[in-house]
Amino acid sequence: MPVCRVALYDVSRLVGEELSAEELSELLPRLKCEVERVEGGYIDYEATHDRPDLFSAEGLARALKGILGLEVGLRVFRAEPSGVAVNEGPSYRPYVLLATVHGLSLDDEAITQIMQLQEKLHATYGRDRRKVSIGVYDLSKVSFPVRYVEADPEKVSFVPLDFEEELSLKEILERHPKGVQYAHILAGKERYPLLVDGKGRVLSMPPIINSEETRVTESTRDVLVDVTAVDKKAAEEVLAVVATSLAERGERIGLVEVRSTGGSWTLSLEPRRMELDVGLVERLVGIRLTAGEAAECLRRMRFGAEASGSKIEVLVPAYRIDVLHPVDLVEDVAIGYGFDRIEPEFMPPQHAGREDRLEVFSRRLRELVAGFGFQEVLNYMLTSKEVLYGLTGAPELPTVEVLNPRQPQFSCLRTWLTPQLLQVLSRSKHADYPQRIFECGDVAWVDEREENCVKEERRLAMAICDSKVTLTDIHAVVDSLMKLLGLRYKLVRGEHPTFISGRYAVVEVEGVGVGFVGEVHPQVLVNWGLEKPVVVAELSVSALFSLLARAK
C-alpha cells in the first residue's frame, strides 16, 4: 500500500482548524490509514490502495472535515466548460482525457502534494505508468485546442522537465532519467505520443516527461491536467481523483471536451446514485441503526444521503472510485459510526471444531519426510517472477501479482515451490553437505474458472544438494513415500527447461499427474550460484489427498 507524507500545517489550513500531530494520528486510522512516522511537523501514513482520494493532503483534509463534523454531506464542485482538445493519438495508447482547475493558491508544499498524488496514482492505478499516466501544466502557458498526436521520435524536440537543453523524443529516452526509467513502455514503437497546444507548443511526451516550459510553480493560478491511458474507465477515474483533489485548493474545475473520430468526452463530476437497505448494516456489522442514523454516518463520510423508510438514497462522489457495491457503503457507515463504539460480542461455536483433514494429512507428510532425514524450511508465499521464472528458466504461468508491491522481491504469489528451495540452498552454501530440505505449503495461480479467479493448491517439495547426488536419490524418497501412503505410481518421461533433459519425469498415480522429479539443469545451478548438483521432487498434496479419500 502506498505510503504518503503530509505536513501538519498544510492539512490544518485545508481543514480550517489547527490539528496537532496527536490528533491527526488518532484520526487517520478512522480512514483506514496506518500512521508510519511522525517527525518534524510531518506525518507519514499508509493509505489503502482503494482510496486514492487519500493519497494527498487535499483529499485527506476533505475526508477529515466530515469526520470532525466541520463539513458534512456531498462535496459539490463548481464546474464549467473551459476548452477543447483533439485526440489523434497512437492506437497503442488511444485515450486522452483533460480538465482544468482554476483559482489555485500554491506554495512549495502544495506543489509537493500534487507531485505525490501523481506518483502514487502512477504506482497503483497507473501500473507504473503503463496503464495510466498523468500530466499537470501551467494553464497560462497553454493555448486551446490541445492536440494529442503521434510524432516521429527523431524529428520532434523540446526541453524536458529539469533540463535546460532541447532533446529529441528519442534522445529523451536515452539521456533523461525519466526517459531511461520508462523507455520500456515505448520500446518497439515507431512513433511516440505527444501532447501539443494550439500554437504547436509541446506540453509533454506521455507517459514519459512534461515540458520544462509548462512547469507548475508557486505563481501558477490555473492548471491543465491530462490523463493518457490504455483503459478509458481507469483514465476517467484517475482524472476525477486528480481534478477534485486540486479543486480543494482552488475555486472551480474546467471541463475540457475531448473530440475524436469515435465521438466526444467530457469529465463528469455527477455523483453516482446507489441505494442502501439499512438492514444490511446490522447483518454485516452487528449494529442496529435507523435509516436516518445510518444516513448521518454516510454524510460524515462525505456522501449525499437521505433516508426513506428503511432505505437510504446515496449520492457517491466522483472521486470515491472504490465504492462499487452496497457492502462498500456499509463499511463507510461503520467508519462514520466509529469502530471504537462497536461493542464486541462473543460468538458461540456453531459446531464441535475439528482440524481440517488436509492439515492432518499435511502434518503426516511432514513427519514422514522429516523421518527420511530432510529439514523443513518455511518460505513466504509472496515472491517474485525473477525467482519463479527468471532464474529457473521455467515457462511463465498465469501469476497472481501484487498491484503495488512495497518491495520487488514480494511482488507475486508463488506458482511452485522448487524455486524457493533453490533459493534456500543458494543461501546455505556455508553449511555442511549433503543438504536435504523440504517444504509443505500452498501455491496459487490465475484460473478464470474459480470463483475468485485464483486456484490454490497444497504442495510438497523436497530437494537434495550434494556432490554425488543423482536422480536415483530423490526417486528413492518418492518411492518410499508412495509405499507408506499405499499408492501405486509410475514415472512418465517428460521435458522441463529447469531440469536436465532425460532426467525429468512426471509422477502419475491412477493416470493423474501428481508431481515431478528431476535433476536441476547446470545453467540453473549457475544462475543460483550453486556449486553442487541438486535433485528435486515436487508433489501435489491436494491431489494425493483426493486420491486417498476416493480410495476409501
- Supply the pLDDT for residue 404: 75
Residue type, 19: L
Work out the mean pLDDT of the chain and round it to a whole number.
94
**Beta bridge partners of residue 250, listed in sequence order:** none
Q: Which residue has the higher pLDDT, 531 or 350?
A: 531
Which whole number is the average pLDDT over 159-176? 94
Gyration radius of the chain's alpha carbons: 29
pLDDT, tens only, 1-18: 789 999 999 999 999 999
Q: Report the percentage of the chain scoring pLDDT > 90.
A: 89
Domain ranges of the chain: 3-67, 79-265, 272-339, 357-551
* Number of alpha helices (DSSP H) and beta strands (DSSP E) in the chain: 16, 27
pLDDT, tens only, 95-150: 999 999 999 999 999 999 999 999 999 988 888 888 999 999 999 999 999 999 99
Q: Are 418 and 498 in contact (CB under 8 A)?
A: yes
**472 confidence band (pLDDT: 50, 70, 90):** very high
Residue 44 CA, chain-centre distance (Å), reads: 19
Query: What is the rounded CA–CA span in Å between residue 244 and residue 59?
Result: 8
- Supply the pLDDT for residue 117: 96
Which whole number is the average pLDDT over 186-191? 92
Q: Report the percentage of the chain scoring pLDDT > 70.
A: 100
CATH: 3.30.700.30, 3.30.56.10, 2.60.120.1090, 3.40.50.300. Which one for 3-67? 3.30.56.10
Which whole number is the average pLDDT over 329-337? 95
Cell reading at 511: 493416470
Superfamily of domain 357-551: Bira Bifunctional Protein; Domain 2 (3.30.930.10)
- Supply the pLDDT for residue 451: 82
Full DSSP string of 17-52: S---HHHHHHHGGGGT-EEEEEETTEEEEEPPTT-G
pLDDT, tens only, 280-314: 999 999 899 999 999 999 999 999 999 999 999 99
- Supply the pLDDT for residue 347: 76
Say whether pLDDT at 552 is over 70: no
Say whether pLDDT at 550 is over 90: no
Q: Among 342, 305, 270, 323, which Cα is nearest to 72's?
A: 305
Q: Are 458 and 358 in contact (CB under 8 A)?
A: yes
Cell reading at 472: 536415483
What DSSP element (H or E) covers 61? helix 57-67
- Supply the pLDDT for residue 387: 95
**What is the chain's percent helix, strand, coil content, to nearest 5?**
35, 30, 35
- Supply the pLDDT for residue 345: 79
Phi and psi at 332, nearest 5°, equal -70, -30
- Sheet containing 42-46: give its strands across: 3-7, 42-46, 34-39
Angle (CA) 156-178-90 rounded to 5° is 45
Which whole number is the average pLDDT over 485-494? 94
pLDDT, tens only, 249-273: 999 999 999 999 889 999 999 999 9
Burial of 188 (0-12, 13-18, 19+ CB in 10 A): exposed
Query: What is the rounded CA–CA span in Å between residue 301 and residue 335?
Result: 8
For residue 387, the 8-state DSSP code is I
Say whether pLDDT at 243 is over 80: yes
**351 confidence band (pLDDT: 50, 70, 90):** confident
- Supply the pLDDT for residue 321: 94
Query: What is the rounded CA–CA span in Å between residue 121 and residue 132?
Result: 8
- Supply the pLDDT for residue 342: 87
**317 confidence band (pLDDT: 50, 70, 90):** very high
CA–CA distances in Å: residue 435 to residues 62, 168, 417, 438: 58, 56, 17, 10
Which whole number is the average pLDDT over 403-430? 92
Q: Residues 277-285: contacts with CB within 8 Å, 24+ apart?
A: 277/310, 277/311, 277/312, 277/326, 278/307, 278/310, 278/311, 278/312, 279/310, 280/326, 280/327, 280/330, 281/330, 281/333, 281/334, 284/327, 284/330, 285/330, 285/333, 285/334, 285/342
- Supply the pLDDT for residue 406: 75
Which residues are CB-contacts of 61 (< 8 A; sequence separation ≥ 6)?
Answer: 11, 14, 15, 248
CATH: 3.10.20.80, 3.30.56.10, 3.90.1640.20, 3.40.50.740. Which one for 272-339? 3.30.56.10
Query: What is the rounded CA–CA span in Å between residue 427 and residue 388?
Result: 16
Q: Among 173, 121, 155, 97, which Cα is nearest to 2's?
A: 121
Cell reading at 301: 463520510
- Supply the pLDDT for residue 350: 75
Query: What is the rounded CA–CA span in Å between residue 207 and residue 172?
Result: 12
Number of residues written out for the chain = 552
What DSSP element (H or E) covers 299? helix 291-300
Handedness of CA 220, 82, 239, 62 (dihedral sign): positive
Using DSSP's 3-state secondary structure scheme, residue 430 falls into coil
Query: What is the rounded CA–CA span in Å between residue 496 and residue 520?
Result: 10
Full DSSP string of 328-372: HHHHHHHHHH-GGGSPP-----SS-----HHHHHHHHHHHHHHHT
Residue type, 376: E
Superfamily of domain 79-265: Phenylalanyl-trna Synthetase, Chain B, domain 3 (3.50.40.10)
272-339 and 79-265 share a CATH fold: no
Phi and psi at 374, nearest 5°, equal -95, 150
pLDDT, tens only, 446-457: 998 888 889 999
Helix axes 232-247, 57-67, angle to 10 degrees: 70
- Supply the pLDDT for residue 486: 93
**53 confidence band (pLDDT: 50, 70, 90):** very high
Residue type, 502: G
3-class secondary structure per residue, 117-147: HHHHHHHCCCCCCCCEEEEEEEHHHCCCCEE
